[in-house]
Amino acid sequence: MNKPLRRIALFCGLLVLALLVRDNWLQYLQADSLRTDPNNRRVLIARYSKPRGDIIVDGDPITGSKKTSTDSLNDFAFKRTYKDGAMWSPVTGYASQAFGATQLESIEDGILTGDDDRLFFRNTLNMLTGKQQQGGNVVTTLNGAAQKAAYDGLKRVGGKGAAVALDPQTGAILALASYPSYDPSSFAGNSTTVDSKAWTKLQKKNDPSDPMLNRALRETYPPGSTFKVVTAAAALENGLYDSADQNTDSPLPYILPNTRTELKNEGSIPCKNATMRVALQFSCNTVFGKIGADLGKEKMLEEAKKFGFDSEQFTPVRANASNFPKDMDKAQTALSSIGQYDTAATPLQMAMVASAVANDGKLMKPYMVDKLQTPGLDVLTQTQPQELSRPLSEKNAQVLQSMMGTVVKDGTGKNAQINGVTVGGKTGTAQHGLNNSEKPYAWFISFAKLGDGSSPVAVAVVVEDNNANRDDISGGGLAAPIAKNVMEAVINSKK
């Protein structure tokens, strides 16, 4: 070969090598960035060229897919539909052609679209046989009757609020409701005249009630007196008091440490040196505030963390971390120990508190996905219950169960009583706004115990009722009836 031909051959070889390098660079190193590039419309066309798999509750889908009219302005063949969308949106999130996806629709998108690597073998077979790729299903732990009871109860009360129900023995989420809510179907497409307008209308700047906020997982509220359950647990676990019926060292009036400020109770209630049972029954601020100050911030923080405070939870949808303050003086520790100052909790967190007490001191990790299914309904993965922590010993948990039972039997939680079922609970009315200027939050946490000793459900409900008079707002009056209906729904579904 003469010299000019060798040069041409070498140049052509370099061009082929450059082409191979570029091809591999695009196919492997840049594949993900190209796939997720918002300007890559082919990915979106492929995503919406087939029906998505479904999210399942009680064996039935609460989602679907609808054929759209394709034209030059809309080349997406299918869009998402939702059954009782407003009720289920805190669980499903949304999948929108124009606005992306959130929550289960986003986290399990690979399964729902059929693009998950775990479906590679099935997809390869479908390709060889000419079948269209199909999405798998996400089977949830949710209980349809409990969810309806929670959502309908919040809607009936009005205002804003949330409710969460857990299976204390497994951590399975049975209900997850938020109000006000939104229907994801209203903006599932990409129409500028319909979907975009619906989306814009739901934004907080246009709707101050913020219907797209998942209050069950993403909003933290002062828990008020429901936090006294955590304080009682800390007192028992640290040996400050040995039983529910031992008199506490609780003077009246009680002056917050190193201040001249009196910590007051609501009305004339028997709080002086009251037992913890009586103090929980009547919700004595003085007793539990002093317990927190006596234990100190380190022991209170340690106990709060055992219940899940200061940690995000992934269900797999992320829940905000609840907060128990780290930097406090003794007076602030007393206020934090009755659920005020900077103490803040999600409804999920307070349901976890109730569930740990109900489950004899064992806190299970909350989860809402039971299993993932292939398009052929084979089980791809199954969630196994997982212990998160042990906030209480079995003995102390049973002491606290008895105390919470007294609250419902003879105290502020009577509206949660269920015939033939032992119910334990705690009410709370948490201050809200500067100098308590706004409507307080009404809380109720509870659990149900059946005759065989099992506990099928623990619940937390929080309500902010903008239309009620201040004197009418209480956890027992607003939140407890909702919790009762949710517990009854779970119990009846197991019969």
Q: Give the H/E segment covering residue 381.
A: strand 379-382
| CA 304 vs CA 30, 315, 336, 392, 432: distances in Å | 45, 20, 11, 11, 22
Rounded CA gap, 99 and 323, in Å?
32
- DSSP 8-state symbol, 315: S
The CB-side HSE value for 408 (13 A sphere, CA atoms) comes to: 27
Rounded CA gap, 224 and 432, in Å?
10
Bridge partners of residue 22, in order along the sequence: none
Q: Which single residue is written with the structure tokens 């946490």?
A: 445
Nearest to 459 by CA among 394, 371, 366: 366
Indicate the length of the chain as a whole number: 495
- DSSP 8-state symbol, 187: G
Rounded CA gap, 21 and 14, in Å?
10
Q: How many helices (H) and strands (E) does the chain have?
A: 18, 20
Torsion of CA 427, 463, 300, 362, to 10 degrees: 80
- DSSP 8-state symbol, 71: B
Q: Give the H/E segment covering residue 61.
A: strand 60-61
β-strand pairing of 441-449 with 422-430 = antiparallel
Q: Which single residue is written with the structure tokens 């201050």?
A: 431
Is residue 225 among the annotated active site residues?
Answer: yes
Rounded CA gap, 174 and 317, in Å?
15
Q: Per the residue annotation, which of 65, 185, 186, 225 is the catalytic one?
A: 225
Nearest to 377 by CA among 3, 54, 105: 54
Catalytically active residues, by annotation: 225
